[in-house]
Chains A and B, each alone.
Chain A
Amino acid sequence: MNYKLLFTRSILLLQICLSVLYFSTTNSFAHQNTLEKVKSTGVLIWGFDAEGGAPYVFHDPKHPSKLVGFEVELVAAIARELGVKVQHFQNAWDSILLSLQRGDFDIALNGIEITPDKEPSVLFTRPYYVYAEQIVVRASDNRINRPEDLRGKKVGTLYNTVAKRMLEEMGEITVNIYSGQVEPFKDLSLSRIDAVFVDLPIASYYAKPNPQLRLVGKPAGEGYYGIAVRKEDTALAEELNKIIEKLLRTGELQKIYSRWGLWNTAQEKLFLHEEPLQKYTENLPSVSEKVSPSVTKFLPTLLKGALVTVGISILSMMLAVGLGLILAITRLYGNTWLQRISTAYIEIYRGTPLLIQLYILYYGLPNIGITLSAFAAAILGLGMNYAAYEAEIYRAGIQSIPKGQTEAALSLGMSKRLALKRIILPQALRITIPPMTNDFIALFKDSSLVSVIAMVELTKSYSILASASMNFFKLGIITALLYFGMSYPLSLYARKLEKKLRLYDRNP
């Protein structure tokens, strides 16, 4: 192989990628003044994530096409004051500030906590809500009453939140990070975790109506939600500040919050805060010092994620290879019923998305009394999915062995089973090694999908770090390099194996 050529080509490719990225980020400079643009077009584009859930912005369960939530009402009031219409922009919460910077929408308003680490990238208005962090436990569980009791427990929280950092700083806590708001409460009722620690609005909306769950202790770590705008949009921020103040004074804000059961005495503090941003954040008990952009700081977390990725990949591949063999053999040699079952298994697993299979395993099975840990669900989900593909590789391998081999074995007095074990499989397995190595590489990359079931592997570690530090680019390159560094040697090995097996059609 010509490594030099390969190397120069890779560099070229990287350069192309970089320049594409560069040009796509520069379009935020296109708007000189967002306030003017909003007024002239008569439209305020609002970025949020409806998947984040209630009571902020969510799809009305009774009319799923309609968005409801206290923030929907708040934005409607703001737009009315501005004399414009609201245009919705659905965006994944993890990357909401990034999309704001890119210029996808004018304001980001979606339970975004005002914290100093976001300061370099966006501008915040004065707060529109005072939140605090709340502990939720199972109603039957008396062990946890204060934040200190969380030590040594498994606690669920949301991605890139103050609650998450508070938990991490308390130490000795196993933190399970979720991107949706429903899942942590689900896992809590299933005893997969011991407590949930989240912003009070979320806790009261999801846990209060659920008799299985209970809010304990006083809300801790008061903080503020603000509207984020682009750094250069000072005029828009000032205009929004005026509107928030007006809504406060007229009592409209209180009315909206009360409707959602969110008004409490803490909200009185909203009137006091007209000071610059620092004032809102300096009392935060738990925000870490400004995240340094130095790569070395992220590396240990990413490497830990990589280790989890490798572990999951290896274990699930082992399952896939073992189960796949059983499926292939029952499909080829089993009685009619076994053949039907394994054929159905293979077709169903190959014909449905892995993501759905993972959701069913992790969140669906508990409905029939089977509660798997995230790790077990990840291994089972990936392994059972890939088993279907490996089964077909085995089948092709077995069928490629000439019939004469079986006949020779049978004529020597071997039983069918022995002939399969000693003569057919050893030959078939060697044929299957290269395609299976390739499948392992594919599985290795597919393992990033298990992040949806609260597994923190490499991709999840990346998105947690990136959304916390806003450093999507540099971290993205590092993460991609980590994946590549692990999969490339494997694919070289697969190619070498393939060549070797083609050259010598026998044991070395």
Chain B
Amino acid sequence: MIEIHNLSKQYDNQPLFKGLHLNIAKGSVVTLIGPSGSGKSTLLRCMNGLESFQEGHISVNGQKLYGIHEQNYNKAQVHLTLKNIRRKVGMVFQQFNLFPHMTVLHNIIESPTHVLGISQAEAESNAISLLQKVHLEEKAHSYPDQLSGGEQQRVAIARSLAMKPEAMLFDEPTSSLDPEMIEEVLAVIKDLVSEGMTTVIATHEMSFASDVSTDVVFLERGEILEHGSPKDIFYNPKNDRMRAFLSRFMK
């Protein structure tokens, strides 16, 4: 469903990815793990065009996004490609990024009504059932700053789901949460995964990663050092650095 081919990206002459390849099959659950600064967020952001890259291409559902130095790169077409990709791929951020000037309900129906052109009534009834799914139906008319961090993140997930995406990207969805709220968010993501949603998650929650993922990708300095099933990665790591990294988490 998502193919990353020969991806090269640099930040002001500081190379990050140097010809990275990754295939994410439909229905798979991929966790990105790795030390801070290894490029997890950047990789996710490249997948939905929040970040541009220099070489290679990323294909999402057949929509191809080219690096800006590729000869297939076409500035006029990028808009359209991005539009198509973003409608099919949802993203959840570490900082939630709910719209503070709108109620929970409005946060959720904003894009369906204005981008997809769904009627207000239909969008609202969808939103209510999504809120039920994340166990927050009673907060429909609250404002984001009246919610706890865990609640905000669940609203953010519901907001992304309202666009009926085919894949979801999570960038450290629990990293800015208090420990007691982490579980409620992870539970929601687990539900989603069990329904077969194609999911890519950057996370430091190793037991969760080992629990839900079909694939684990270990990144370091922009390179994929290991890629395999959770069993292989967590119980039988081949790479020394991978082992060193894990030992810090699995005490």
Q: A427-B100, A427-B101, A506-B145 in contact; A412/B48 too (CB < 8 A)?
A: no
A191 neighbours in B (Cβ, 8 Å) = none
**Chain A 390-427 interface 0/1 with B at a Cβ cutoff of 8 Å (1 = within):** 00000000000010110111111111001000110011
Whether, in the assembled complex, A430 has its beta carbon less than 8 Å from a beta carbon of chain B, the answer is: yes
Query: Nearest Cβ in chain B — how far from A330, in angstroms?
Result: 20
Do the beta carbons of A408 and B143 come within 8 Å of each other? no
Complex-state Cα separation, A409 to B143, whole angstroms = 17
Contacts of A404 in B (CB 8 A): 93, 95, 97
List the A side residues contacting B87 at CB < 8 Å: 413
Q: Is B163 an interface residue (CB 8 A)?
A: yes
B99 CB contact (under 8 Å) in A408, A413, A418, A430:
A408
CA distance A10 to B122 in the complex (A): 59
Tell me if B160 counts as interface (CB < 8 A to partner A): yes
Most buried by A among B90, B98, B102: B102
Interface residues in A, total, Cβ within 8 A = 21
Q: Which of B86, B95, B101, B143 contacts A413 (CB 8 A)?
A: B86
Binding site for A on B (CB under 8 A): 48-50, 83, 86-87, 89-91, 93, 95, 97-102, 110-111, 114-116, 143-145, 156, 159-160, 163
B87's nearest neighbour on chain A, judged by CB, is A413
Given contacts A404-B93, A407-B97, A505-B100, contact A412 B50 (CB under 8 A): no
Q: Are B111 and A414 in contact (CB under 8 A)?
A: yes
Cα distance, A415 to B86, chains bound together (Å): 10
- Chain A positions 80-128 with a Cβ under 8 Å from a chain B Cβ: none
16 example contacts (A-B, Cβ-Cβ < 8 A) are as follows: A405-B99, A408-B98, A408-B99, A410-B49, A412-B110, A412-B115, A412-B159, A412-B163, A413-B116, A414-B111, A414-B114, A422-B110, A423-B99, A426-B101, A427-B99, A507-B143
- Closest Cβ of chain A to B148, distance in Å, is 16
| Chain A residues near B110 (CB-CB < 8 A) | 412, 422-423
Contact in complex: B100, A506 (CB < 8 Å): yes
- Chain B residues with CB under 8 Å of A418's CB are 114-115
A412 contacts B93, CB within 8 Å?
A: no
- Closest Cβ of chain B to A405, distance in Å, is 6
Assess the A411–B83 pair: CB atoms within 8 A: no
Q: Which 9 A-B pairs have the closest CB atoms?
A: A408-B97, A412-B111, A411-B91, A404-B97, A413-B115, A413-B87, A413-B86, A506-B143, A426-B101
Residues of A within 8 A of B91 (CB): 408, 411
In the assembled complex, the Cα of A414 lies from the Cα of B115 at a distance in Å of 6
Per-position 1/0 for A464-483, Cβ under 8 A of B: 00000000000000000000
Query: Which residues A407-456 have CB closer than 8 A to chain B?
Result: 407-415, 418, 422-423, 426-427, 430
A411 cross-chain contacts in B, Cβ below 8 A: 48, 50, 86, 89-91, 160
Known contacts A413-B111, A506-B145; 7 further A-B pairs (Cβ under 8 A): A408-B93, A409-B111, A410-B49, A412-B115, A412-B159, A413-B115, A423-B110
Residues in B with CB closer than 8 Å to A405 are 97, 99
Question: CB distance A413 to B145 under 8 Å?
Answer: no
> Across the interface, which residues of A come within 8 angstroms of B49, CB to CB?
410
- A412 and B106 CA atoms in complex are apart in Å by 13
Interface residues of A in 136-163 (CB under 8 A from B): none
Q: Which residue of A lies closest to B100 (CB)?
A: A506
Q: Are B50 and A413 in contact (CB under 8 A)?
A: no
A500, chain B: closest CB distance, angstroms: 14
Residue ID in chain B nearest A412 by CB atoms? B111
Given contacts A408-B99, A411-B90, A412-B160, contact A422 B114 (CB under 8 A): yes
Which residue of the partner chain A has the closest CB to B110? A422
Q: Which of B101, B111, B159 contacts A430 (CB 8 A)?
A: B101
User: Can you name the residue of chain A whose Cβ is closest to the Cβ of B50?
Assistant: A407
Closest A residue, CB atoms, query B146? A506
